[in-house]
Amino acid sequence: MPLQNRVTPDGRIIAVHERGRWMGNRGCLHDDNRNLGRALWKHPSWVICTLELLPGRPAPRQLMAPRHYTELFFLDEATALSAGHRPCARCRRAAHDAFRHAAGGFDRTGDLDQQLHGERVAILKGRAQPVAQADSLPDGAFIKADGQAMLIAEGQAHPWTPGGYGAPRPLPRDPVPILTPATSLKALANGYAVQMAL
């Protein structure tokens, strides 16, 4: 049985067999039996980390080890941004700095985290669901159309699944709900080079 550690573009955490290309962290969300509780986060610093073993980093440990943070996984970086995460300052310093600058030039990472946290919590709790014309959104943004998450890229909508993207479709003509938080949308619109599994 797979662990519940895979994140969807709308920020939910699901259990599937497919593996992710990026790892994330929201704090310790699991118990000693590696089951998730009700909490979707324990702190506002939701990061996107590389899966590469970098010099000076400890060797990989058992997933969901007791009293350690819960390792979360994403299909691609676009999924992670849509779920409300941002590049890690420790293992992805250049990406972190580029994202922080493109998102509005935040002086402190903590300020960026607080801004993102308010936006993603509003989306997760259903308090805010901004809408827009799909063709006005930058590549790397996620929308919800036909009941599913879709990635905007190269003038098309790509249906998201845990294992990859389905066949591209024409962009919806009517306004659609946006899944990607506004701060991350701004970073994408300002040229942040997001990784997409296309």
pLDDT tier at 125 (50, 70, 90 boundaries)?
confident
The mean pLDDT of 25-42, rounded to a whole number, is 94
pLDDT in tens, 142-157: 999 999 999 999 999 9
| H or E element in which residue 148 lies | strand 148-153
State the pTM of this model.
0.95
Distance CA 73, CA 147 (A): 23
Q: What is the mean pLDDT of the chain?
A: 94
Residue 115 is predicted with a pLDDT of: 96
Whether residue 116 has pLDDT greater than 80: yes
pLDDT tier at 59 (50, 70, 90 boundaries)?
low
- What domains appear along the chain, each with residue ranges and CATH number? 4-124 (no CATH), 131-180 (2.30.30)
Please report the DSSP string for 38-106 in residue order. Answer: S-S-SSS--EEE-SS--TTSPPP--TT-TTSPPPEEESSHHHHHHTT-EE-TTT-HHHHHHHHHHTT--
Whether residue 6 has pLDDT greater than 80: yes
Whether residue 52 has pLDDT greater than 90: no
Whether residue 176 has pLDDT greater than 70: yes
pLDDT in tens, 60-108: 778 999 999 999 999 999 999 999 999 999 999 999 999 999 999 899 9
